[in-house]
Structure 1
């Protein structure tokens, strides 16, 4: 994918044990300005849909994107099972990336969706170089997420949830009918833009091309979490986060206010901004408002 409108960037890989983590740096890591490290969602997605954050480099703020192991430009491991794909694996990969790029002494984390939970878990360990945290469109736990998914599903057009439930009960979630029935939910609560921006389409198809991580840890869809994360959350560690935190979500977000509010309530220094015309991707759905909110937060740091 060409990024003609974005600042120049450098790409490469770093060794992660016997595997490789792909990364992209936009801007100068030697500038003295703590870079924003972007932790994408999924799990099992890629950095592509978050590429617009590279715009921060226009103001002198370096930005680091990376593909988490299992997808995109990083090592794919389709033969590995649930015992391999763990939260600790992705925390270790993030720590390794920070050390390998020599930015562990000063950085800001931006975590979106699953990446927000991962970034919060990282931040709760109080790493000495962390300067700030942005948690975007992230539920605080998957049990709470599933409660709210039931509410959102009940509000879909007549017959849609019944079709979804029928396939989920039968184990036929890979069918074309299930896929088509998913569409109204995605168009209402994931990305309200039509057509979907190319950045989001790129990540969507990357998951489709290798769904190993997504299916193992999440499940067949955003709203049917049957994987290893179904009982996981970060509520218990939020009071340990010691950096200024910006919490973001969309008014129509699949990460509903009930799933997001604990970040504001439990993190000692947290501020929450809701984008009124967005769902799960405010950085794509309201780019100018999003950029203003994010840049103001970074300046305050």
Structure 2
């Protein structure tokens, strides 16, 4: 596939078999389950899969294509992390309260509430993969396997990749980005259009984006509290609380079967995820040739085959 061709959209998304909320720190975390709720039982033949969405602060909707992993009888759990989507929004919260530790604790609250804390697979996409690695390092109990999708092992590496890809954009697009950044007008329509060129190449190559992807972007635009606090104003300017985040030196401490996946056109270039493969004992990787940052959307059948096979291997 050439750079200017895009994949086509994937399959329909099934309705949830169960939805609800989990009490967490005086607020509510919303979740949905796809597949037979009986598959959440401790004696189920296949361990349930819990999906961690990205951002931080980008609601779960864009990961809903991963419900295909419930097709062989597995329960798939999605939830909106605190501060976005259908979970509690806290626009006036102390910025210092948005921490990695908060979201690690929230994941544990969700699996405890669902009764699956002793046995579940964990899949994190983008920021979700960063969070998943922190979950394993903080308290690995109950995690049968780890899938890291399109995620960086450090924000320094992430910014290096972003700068590399930005330099490959058409000159007029680069000039527009730079002009508005210098003028402080990054909220302009012209800047957004220039950013869209980057997104169409390196975030989601299914153009126009499927409805579930647009829904996540719309929710981020409506309430960017968590994203702006932890990341910053854009993919190119990580100035939030995660700016110095790195898990590279701690990765040998992850001791569960690990799969690392990404797209060949991903904004998460190989340099950002290779530390996971190099430093987590026994980790392996797969690159989807026709995808960017959302292989689950861009090559859903291949994604389901690769990740589903890995999950079955470690049930």
TM-score > 0.5, shorter chain as reference:
yes
Matched, 1:15 2:28: no
Contact residue 16 and residue 32 of structure 2 kept, 8 A:
no
> Does 1 or 2 have the higher relative contact order (CA < 8 Å, sep 6+)?
2
Number of residue pairs matched by the alignment: 299
Structure 2 match to 1:25: 33
Please name the residue that 1:179 is paired with: 192
After superposition, give the CA deviation of every residue in 1:73-114 in whole Å (9 maximum; x if it has no partner).
Answer: 100011124201111111111111111111110011000000
The 1-side partners of 2:16 and 2:51 are apart by: 17
Partner of 1:298 in structure 2? 311
Q: Runs in 1 of length 4+ with deviation above 4 angstroms?
A: none
Structure 1 spans left out of the alignment, 5+ residues: none
1:113 maps to: 126
In the other structure, the counterpart of 1:86 is: 99
C-alpha separation in 1, matches of 2:30 and 2:289: 34
Structure 2 match to 1:204: 217
Partner deviation per Cα, 1:44-76 (whole Å, 9 max, x = no partner): 011111111112222111110000000111000
Q: Given that residues 39 and 115 in structure 1 are in contact (C-alpha distance below 8 angstroms), is that contact kept between their aligned partners in structure 2?
A: yes
Range that drifts further, 176-185 or 272-281: 176-185
Is it true that 1:164 corresponds to 2:177 in the alignment?
yes
Q: 1:231 aligns with which of 233, 241, 244?
A: 244
Deviation, 1:271, is 0.7
1:98 aligned residue (88, 111, 136): 111
Tell me: CA distance 1:170–1:228, structure 2 relative to 1, closer, same or farther (3 Å): farther
- Aligned residue for 1:265, secondary structure, equals helix
CA distance in 2: counterparts of 1:183 and 1:171, whole angstroms? 18
Among candidates 113, 125, 141, match of residue 154 of structure 2: 141
- Residue of structure 2 equivalent to 1:6: 14
| Larger displacement relative to structure 2 (50-59 or 111-120) | 50-59
- What TM-score does the superposition give when structure 2 sets the normalisation length? 0.92
| Offset from partner CA, 1:133-177 (integer Å, 9 cap, x none) | 000000111111111111111100112222212322333221222
Query: Which residue of structure 2 lines up, in the alignment, with residue 38 of structure 1?
Result: 51
SS in 1 for 2:71: helix
Query: Are the counterparts in 1 of residues 262 and 268 from structure 2 also a CA contact under 8 Å?
Result: yes
Q: Normalised by the size of structure 1, how large is the TM-score?
A: 0.96
**Corresponding residue number in structure 2 for 1:276:** 289
Deviation at 1:8, TM superposition (A): 4.3
Measure how far apart 1:178 and its partner are. 1.4
Task: Give the alignment's Cα RMSD to 1 decimal.
Answer: 1.4
| Structure 1 residue 126, shift from structure 2 partner | 4.6
Name the CA distance, whole Å, in 2 between partners of 1:125 and 1:227: 22
- Look up the match of 1:213: 226
